[in-house]
Structure 1
Amino acid sequence: MNNRVVLDLLIEHDTLSRSDVRTLTGLSKPTASSLLQRLEESGLVRPSGLGDTGPGGRAPQLYRINPTAGYAAAVDVRPGSVWVRISNIAGAIVAERLEENDQAANGPDSAAAILRSCCDTAGLSPAQLDAIVVSVPGSYDIATDTLSYVDHLPGWQRPSVAAELRTLFPNASVAVENDVNLAAIAERHSARGESDSFFLFWLGDGVGGAIMIDGALHRGSRGAAGEAAFLLIPGAVLDADSRRDGALERLVGDEALRGLAAGAGHEAATAPQALSALLDDPAAAPALAELCNRYACAIASVIALLDPARIVLAGKLARLGGERLRAEVALQLAAIMPAAPQLAVTVATDTPILDGAMVMSLGIARDRVFTT
């Protein structure tokens, strides 16, 4: 237990002396010294120069995590692309690759080939990977090892996708996770100090959601918790398309957003272009209000069931709309319900899915490496 505490402190502080370890842990001087010696002998920790000279005139020896003690990989699979990132156990990125072509995401074997290529770039053997987290734009049921809502992702509809990856990388701990869930992990990691219970409302190529309760993801019994695309709000049409894609998706997705922009006199080829047009044109205020009312109706349903401490707007549309979009959604939400939780725009980076996969992968890798 003491070993893990010190290793986690070294991750947090980068370098520590024996005195620092004693101060931060309350361990005795002999215990702190023997612990660091043991960790150094195990190859998990190594000396890292000398610190500032103290009152006794001697500079203390500093220690840091041995970055080569382990490696973690994050893989973001999207239609037509696979983005791979590999970090050492200390969290430094050692290789990254984005492959964009029709075959890149064609099943686990294609993603695995790109990951192996990224390992070659880093000068690593795939056997050196301790953890791999694969992000997919669909719901993953860990009990049956199957994905749902991945009709747009060729080669990933077959069962046992994680088992296939584990066969390809037998030395690593392999996890498959929903992309928006990983964005929520990145949000929690970036928004330290904020509440650990929130609903992340994803506004990107599609609409989605993720539920974080007391710092832990709530995935549901089949991995489908947070599939906001299937929320029913006023104006929803129940037909075959809604059953396949989700009723809310049809009201706020790419086609719907471009339709609202067209109704306001702006032809747009993409959802971001449509939203930009609505935000930039004062005469398009009614169309923007209608869009935000649809968002607010969906959020109100989530609040009624979960009562989260925060609602976080995330995804490229949320980042594009920024404070203007947040304020309009908040206005519409206030008109629907008397009291609503804090509504915020994401503070995560512009690659939250890959970042979240990396946070999760590093956590798994450290658990494996630091407990051996």
Structure 2
Amino acid sequence: MKSNALNFSGGPGALPETVLEQTRVAISALPETGISVLGMSHRSDWFRSILNEAESNLRALLGISDDYAITFQQGGSSLQFAMIPMNFAGRAFAPPEYVTSGYWSGRATSEAEKVTSRKVAWDGRATGYRQLPDLGQLDISNSAAYLHYVSNETVEGLQFPHCETATSVPLIADMSSDFLSKSIRPDAYSMIYAHAQKNLGPAGVTVAVIKRSLLERIPAGLPAILDFRTHVSHGSNYNTPPVFAIYVLTLVTRWLRFDVGGLETMQSINERKAKRLYDALDALEGGVTIHADRRWRSQMNVAFTFGDSRLDSAFIDAAREQGIVGIEGHRSIGGLRASLYNAVTDQAVEILANAVTEFSLERI
């Protein structure tokens, strides 16, 4: 099996083989235009059709109503960390509240503090970021500008089991690493955002789904490119957008709609993949340590360690000999991490699970 099929990287992550093949052709010349996708104008009719299709596919996959605008922006989630409080933490509201459940939500919380007063509704630092709260049980001010959380922590391998919760304030979710991996109720949120380099395509584009009524609270005077209304009113084409990244995202959403058959099917596949790997790790009975407490284990990112950095390194080398790549843990916690994004197949997970078992029997 080719290493593309055994790519467990935390991001940029694996892409479906059919998308890779279509992209290869498009880099040389798009069948529709005869011009490389890398040289296509963002003002062309072709690109407008791609933007329209990308939005249409997302609405169909997630059931997003016209009450929400969909934009394609640049800057990744890191830019959203600053834009969200700039746009939505108005003086008429109490400070926004943040759930700090891991590395990336910590980054979001820190960036917000540079822009506005903000409150930490819950912090998992004391547990070593191994657990998550029940969002519905948090003590949130009824006048808070919004509640922000990260639905899946890629570094620590934590995932909220239910992305919908009843909150008295607008709910904003960074879904960068589990967006389109399962069905959700978009109407439970005032905003969802996700950068592409997990389940959506290559780095360079970030999807933001924003309730139109939330846009009404944006203050005047923001720089145009940092104002969400700019991107909505210009149809995600205010300045030169990442044409290539949006094109590949469109291919991925086609794949999800028409090849996979929708998000309920994708969710079942992802549940099966995660179960296979976690079962293999649990069967080692202490030979490995999974970072997340069982209740909060992520279906997208499995963070674990053999308990010794030398063993972790030895497993990385042994796995590479089988073509398995991208399993190094994040620099903040070390260890190992297998990311099971949508394009990672059952067969790839089977190979990884067997590799973990064989390594444990031989070395531990």
TM-score, L = length of structure 2: 0.29
TM-score, L = length of structure 1: 0.29
Structure having the larger proportion of residues in strand: 1
Q: Between Structure 1 and Structure 2, whose CA radius of gyration is higher?
A: 1
